Chain A
């Protein structure tokens, strides 16, 4: 294992120290491993709390700031945070208008946020609403399974819902908007390499030269099938076609090509060109785009594609100012 770390056991704590040093406008609670907006709680504003395992940077801590999240809890690498952290985050962002928990649909994340919401309800009067993101078309959806994973749509949702909360919308409206975005977004990912969890010390799975995984998640878990490596135009089709087969998209989408950590931007733009060509052929105009490593899986090489059906309201909220370490415009 070759990594820029001190000790595998200290990776998350050390990275949070770095975030605090690099971004003095954030407040980092090192004991609870929560990144707060420096001015939290913002009175009268719905507080947005997310969180998840570390290893996906900049998500979620890098999306804390005006126009996006109020707080983010960091778990161990690829491991959900614990309820105590979520309780501390929730209490720290409650400005009197309630708190929205944005939870990616993974068994551990859902259970820990559920226990946290129960604890908050038992201890204080803070109103908490939970929205679960489940947009990964690689996973078959069924009532009898854990359901689809929460992936790329989460980034778009946190931005758009963050803008809505910043406008002063009430909790119910913010939660409705979040659910509408989850319903309108779909993602699919692929990997060229595995990744190494620091505590494990070796790659999570073996992926031979010449092969790739299609339908990968963001935790180094293997995908649904392994196929020979192919040109970017074929890979783009393997990602976009299942998305279009799963949901009807019309003109005006937000198109997000996400890097998984180990893929350079030049390759992401090669993929983006192919995705844009497929969408053009399908008569789906792209209204906005996002290209880059925003939801990573440590050093995994690969990408994911997310399409979100937008409308004038979503685009206006997308364009609204945001000022976080990971996303910043108009501010």
Chain B
């Protein structure tokens, strides 16, 4: 047997590991990738813009008058609710994209490159967060166009955005887990709809709790994390109690992340 000699040309020194700066750069490059995708996939832009607008219009004009007496009276209820619901649906993008990358082999390519191990996921989550912020902006803008009024100040609005982004960032780990678990990307969406639809309708996102609501249902609705998120958002946009709702919402988010981060790592190791 011949002696094994390194084939690397002597002139090129190989790095033993990745520097933190490279990790940041890799993550930003992959964030760019997640965003530039939109340019070639107009459907995604539609998803991010038209669908929220359509939801605002439908809910406000169809449900507004019977639910609150008028469109104007319903807007303070429904706009924060739609923003929160849309944010939850948008978390599924992360799992969907991750699943596409894995099934198409893109993930393998990234993992064979000398880049930070965390950057493919971190880049994707960061890109999805930017998309999230865009959707929220579109929703709020659309709401204001048809008569929604912010009763607080710019800082409170910013805080509302940050709260929603923090919550979705934590909850997106559930989406990552689903993305790693199912065989086809379409199943991520099916899963997402099945969980998020009842979750958002069993909250105070679209209605106020009425005395007629059965006790058990009121209990479920009051303790639904979405309710806490929606109430905190309402408080930040319209005034009212915020701290307790926000704290409970974030606590839920942390609990979900604490459950789904280890599950995701376990599933990742099993899958690849």
* Chain B binds chain A: no
Q: What residues of chain B have their CB less than 8 Å away from a CB belonging to chain A?
A: none
Q: What residues of chain A have their CB less than 8 Å away from a CB belonging to chain B?
A: none
